[in-house]
Structure 1
Amino acid sequence: MASPIKNPFLDFDPSKFFDPSKFFDASRFTDMQKGFADFQKGFADFQKGFSDVKLLSPDFEGLLATQRRNVEAVVAANQLAVEGYQTVARRQAEILRQSFEEASVLMKELVSAGTPEDKVAKQAELVKGSFEKAIANMKELSELVAKSNTEAAEVLSKRVKESIEELQTTLSKLTTKGT
């Protein structure tokens, strides 16, 4: 055996605590090999149990087709919205042009009227008519915007319904395959 370590602060013999012959016991090693073999057998049985399970492979072509239809629906809705707002912008420009023409005619009428009382009466009549026309124009423009938004929303709503139906069909196929 090795000579004991001499330490002035701690005087002990470590060979009393550590016996190399007990550190490696060959019988324990064979027990470990048997345990590992049991583990391998269990794992092989586990794999064998899953060999009958068919993993579902994703339908990438179907997914791409669905996304393509989704994008097409968004593009169509945006196109409808743009066309609607172009219609609104054209109508606004037309209303503005008509307003300038009418204002020019009305100014001539105001200037040509005779007495101050006639001018005040004519002016009140013109203000009332202008106000009513402005309200009618605003109503028309808001209806155009609402129509445009509704058409675009209908395209998206239709696509959402179709997507839900496609998803339900796909899920029903998966559940029938898995059964």
Structure 2
Amino acid sequence: MATNPAYPFLEMDITKVMSSFKMPVVNVKAVMASHQKNVDAITNASQHAFEGVQEIAKRQGEMIRQGVDDITGTTKNAKALDSLEETAVIGAETFKTLYQSALANTWDLNDMASKTTSKSLGIINKRVAESLDEVKDYFAKPDSTPAQTTTAS
């Protein structure tokens, strides 16, 4: 290669330069195992979240059915009443009952969502803590020779 004073780095042997640096050897097996555990934890957390969403949707469906049944029953009863005063009293009582039921259902759904979130985030949090502990294994020397077992004959 010709000497070029404008580009002195062209003459440099990069392998010699890099060999002077102490680069750590990365244990690829440890990194891959750690990432597999990460994927497993995310899958597990997602599964719990999905199951929680299904439970919430099921509960919401039950609440809607119950609300429709309550309103239908009240409407039928109100038609049978003779006076406007009785209808107003029954309507107010029904509204109060429906309101209390809706409030209780809201708290129930909130509790279900909170438990689902806590469980899913707990799985992720545990895995993050474990993976931070595993970082030291990334730079440990891999087993150079597998353990040999012999059997006595």
Shorter-normalised TM range: 0.7 to 0.9
Listed as ranges, the matches of 1:69-80 within 5 Å are: 69-80=37-48
Residue in structure 1 matched with residue 148 of structure 2 by the alignment: none
Listed as ranges, the matches of 1:6-85 within 5 Å are: 56-85=24-53
Match of 1:106 among 74, 78, 88: 74
Per residue, is there more helix in 1 or in 2? 1
Match of 2:123 among 155, 164, 168: 155
The offset of 1:118, in angstroms, is 1.1
TM-score (norm 1): 0.63
| Structure 1: tracts of 5 or more residues without a match | 1-45, 175-179
Letter of the 1:167 counterpart: V
The offset of 1:75, in angstroms, is 0.8
Match of 2:99 among 110, 128, 131: 131
Q: CA RMSD in A?
A: 2.3
Higher relative contact order (CA 8 A, sep 6+): 2
Residue in structure 2 matched with residue 165 of structure 1 by the alignment: 133
Aligned-partner Cα distance in 2 for 1:71–1:152? 14
Aligned-partner Cα distance in 1 for 2:76–2:25? 80
Match of 1:89 among 43, 54, 57: 57
The offset of 1:55, in angstroms, is 5.2
| Structure 2: tracts of 5 or more residues without a match | 1-15, 142-153
Letter of the 2:92 counterpart: A
Look up the SS of the partner of 2:82 in the other structure.
coil
Q: Does 1:143 align with 2:111?
A: yes
TM-score (norm 2): 0.73
